[in-house]
Structure 1
């Protein structure tokens, strides 16, 4: 049976089109070439532009006050070596005003690191809900819609008065998910009513809706199709629990952005703690990390503008928290993997066209910004390494590759540019980012 062993890639550049060939060879090229060599043509056209990337990020601790320290913020939002380069920071808009002051410093630290801040409420104050509780099972009473808008505005202004800037506010975290903990439910009609008749009075921040559990378009279709409501939001946001990973052309028809604002993968250890211990095989963790990377790839190809993971600091996340064998204040493998996007595909970069006649051998996206071309390639195959050869156009003065795999942590390869070629190795089950300047 044919087995993919090596890939050779040649990039050919013109002012408009970047083209490269991937050649797949058999396991043993010296065995009389019994198996046919497969050649895959892939082209990157930097003149064909899709969405503008708003960023990649993660969430603050939502409950409690053990927020990220100064050093952890540096690890998370710095863009240098051994930094994650996050550019979006999600926080909780608490239903208790007494919590607000404790959040100020975290938002200020994110502002100082040029991160955009999204504040999401889990519940309005209890007295405005049908069940008189901040917990789920109740909804915001219509006679208090205006009160809640005033509450959101007061939060934004409170933070601003203390030097902390909130860039985006959500209406409600997961309005379509009944929970026993802090939450609030909205029907599709209730969300539409709130946005159309009240969200336009939110001041000082962009407005995001509807953050449904699996980006249920029913929660935002009517909003986007209504001449009044559509002007009261700036961003359509949603989560990817159990679905929702698809294109949403109506968002772009209405000149809005599409953000993925929460997802997590943790080997289901929240419900089954035995699934993740300090002895969990790193290959098992890495396989799930590849699932996360392929999901990010899919959101980009479906024209989403942003991807925000759940907690930044957690044993299953980007920074260790001291549990399940992790050390607090250190970057975890999943963090290095995420940084292959977040560190190099910066806010304002534009995704550009990539086409291939080779099926799904590699999952590739490309971006341009700040004079750079950035190519992100996921090799999820179990087969051995691929070799990429890239011919260098005159306008490229430097090239670097960065790889994360089971054996690499965003490892930089500077010696890939020799004469008129760039040579990059893509290990099996890896993600590699190539930066051309």
Structure 2
């Protein structure tokens, strides 16, 4: 078994995505063995499409406060394939979202001709960020476009906030609005890979929101959005439903997929993490609908910025490992950058981000979550196939209760070049010794993952 690279990030050290000799982590004696990690090469699962983050107006705004060289540095740190995290996915919003400077729409006042359609609002901050991300990724960026709310005048509550519903007689016009926005992005060489019909369609938020049932979403996709995209030459753009939490993923996806004609226009479902660890729902959808896309489209640590926090990175690793081990195909973080308060957010719904920006001093700070995401995005390349990982464990001397629980978690994937990427995460306060076995190799290694640490092993 040739472990030709070992990359490590660990709390209370200076190691941040740092390569170290694998021999430095080898242990001669299995005296304090915590678990055996078995990579079963012959068992392959879904193709992993890539990783990414959200390019919101707020992210564009805080990055604009940096000196241009530092702003470019942050974008390269995310989207540069050679030197950065190698993001190949991104998400952005159609009209405003909560991480905007205020409510806005591209057609503010009632105009059923859409003649007054304007890109004035996204032009200063959102569009430059999108343009630079596409360029930095070498054009290899799959962009997911999501609306938080139609214009107020299209809704039954005449308000972009507080839920409400899109009026049925505006379904066709709202589909035309999607097409017009995609046209405007195309003029700027920003291609769209997929759209979701609505961000969080079961939540009436105090910010931009709109309520849709699963059948509503399917009807809109099949009867209006899908045909209009096809007619406009965008038949390749994928339509995803749900775009809300794991807890209702099965119910919503299965109901939308059952709508007549859905197989022709609905490519899959997207989901978020805010309801907790319902990975069984992810697995159920993945197994029942293997031909449909399953995309994690949003997750962040809520409650404002957490400068210097370590648990934030561990939360990302826990979610990425379990989402992908249960069938997810692409994983997209929320805002790529926010200010030191966790904003701006026009209703005070502050959150954390992997890069925090001091807009007064013009400095960017990379958080633990940035490095933890990098252990996946840099080394599990688009097109990799997930491999089966079986973890065997009994009594664990390093664990508080003497048992393994989810103290050590692992994900393995085989890249197109044959390299196996194994990510191992240790969320305990103790060093964890593990035996690594690769099926078919006839070899084992005994290694150590440091406390509060994450490792990526590249195996030939």
TM-score, normalised by the number of residues in structure 2: 0.72
Give the Cα–Cα distance (whole angstroms) in 2 for the partners of residues 42 and 21 of structure 1.
15
- Of 248, 262, 270, the residue aligned with 1:216 is 248
Higher normalized contact order (CA 8 Å, seq sep 6+, divided by chain length) = 2
1:337 corresponds in structure 2 to 372
- Of 296, 321, 335, the residue aligned with 1:260 is 296
Work out whether residues 173 and 183 of structure 1, in 8 Å CA contact, stay in contact via their aligned partners in 2: yes
2:416 corresponds in structure 1 to 370
In the alignment, structure 1 residue 75 sits paired with structure 2 residue 77? yes
TM-aligned CA distance change 1:183 to 1:326, over 3 Å: farther
Cα offsets for 1:364-383 (capped at 9, x unmatched) = 11101132110000112221
Cα offsets for 1:131-162 (capped at 9, x unmatched) = 22222231101111111111101111111122
In the alignment, structure 1 residue 182 sits paired with structure 2 residue 200? no
In the alignment, structure 1 residue 379 sits paired with structure 2 residue 426? yes
Work out whether residues 427 and 452 of structure 2, in 8 Å CA contact, stay in contact via their aligned partners in 1: yes
SS in structure 2 of the partner of residue 321 of structure 1: strand
Give the Cα–Cα distance (whole angstroms) in 1 for the partners of residues 192 and 455 of structure 2.
33
Give the Cα–Cα distance (whole angstroms) in 2 for the partners of residues 369 and 391 of structure 1.
16
Work out whether residues 60 and 89 of structure 1, in 8 Å CA contact, stay in contact via their aligned partners in 2: yes
Cα offset, 1:385, TM superposition: 4.9
Structure 2: state its 5+ residue gaps. 4-25, 64-70, 96-104, 107-117, 341-351, 394-403
Give the Cα–Cα distance (whole angstroms) in 1 for the partners of residues 388 and 130 of structure 2.
35
RMSD: 3.2
In the alignment, structure 1 residue 310 sits paired with structure 2 residue 372? no
2:55 corresponds in structure 1 to 60
In the alignment, structure 1 residue 160 sits paired with structure 2 residue 190? no
Give the Cα–Cα distance (whole angstroms) in 2 for the partners of residues 432 and 209 of structure 1.
34
SS in structure 1 of the partner of residue 243 of structure 2: strand
In the alignment, structure 1 residue 431 sits paired with structure 2 residue 454? yes
2:262 corresponds in structure 1 to 229
TM-aligned CA distance change 1:198 to 1:430, over 3 Å: same
TM-aligned CA distance change 1:326 to 1:55, over 3 Å: farther
Cα offset, 1:313, TM superposition: 0.9
**For structure 1, which segment, 251-260 or 134-143, has the greater mean C-alpha deviation from structure 2 after superposition?**
251-260
Aligned length: 371
1:206 corresponds in structure 2 to 238
TM-aligned CA distance change 1:250 to 1:334, over 3 Å: closer
Cα offset, 1:392, TM superposition: 12
1:31 corresponds in structure 2 to none
Give the Cα–Cα distance (whole angstroms) in 2 for the partners of residues 289 and 382 of structure 1.
15
**For structure 1, which segment, 58-67 or 88-97, has the greater mean C-alpha deviation from structure 2 after superposition?**
58-67
SS in structure 2 of the partner of residue 156 of structure 1: helix
In the alignment, structure 1 residue 90 sits paired with structure 2 residue 136? no
Give the Cα–Cα distance (whole angstroms) in 2 for the partners of residues 150 and 89 of structure 1.
23
Give the Cα–Cα distance (whole angstroms) in 1 for the partners of residues 132 and 28 of structure 2.
44
Work out whether residues 35 and 433 of structure 2, in 8 Å CA contact, stay in contact via their aligned partners in 1: no
1:10-89 superposed matches below 5 A: 24-26=30-32, 40-63=35-58, 66=61, 68=63, 69-81=71-83, 83-89=84-90
Work out whether residues 257 and 263 of structure 2, in 8 Å CA contact, stay in contact via their aligned partners in 1: yes
Structure 1: state its 5+ residue gaps. 1-9, 13-19, 27-37, 271-275, 395-419
Work out whether residues 126 and 133 of structure 1, in 8 Å CA contact, stay in contact via their aligned partners in 2: yes
TM-aligned CA distance change 1:387 to 1:347, over 3 Å: same
Work out whether residues 88 and 308 of structure 1, in 8 Å CA contact, stay in contact via their aligned partners in 2: yes
In the alignment, structure 1 residue 249 sits paired with structure 2 residue 275? no
Cα offset, 1:253, TM superposition: 3.9
Give the Cα–Cα distance (whole angstroms) in 2 for the partners of residues 118 and 436 of structure 1.
32
Cα offset, 1:22, TM superposition: 11
Work out whether residues 71 and 329 of structure 1, in 8 Å CA contact, stay in contact via their aligned partners in 2: no
1:274-353 superposed matches below 5 A: 276=306, 282=308, 285-314=309-338, 315=340, 316-322=352-358, 328-353=363-388
Give the Cα–Cα distance (whole angstroms) in 1 for the partners of residues 336 and 329 of structure 2.
19
Cα offsets for 1:78-135 (capped at 9, x unmatched) = 2345x22222111111132333444433323222202211111111122211122222
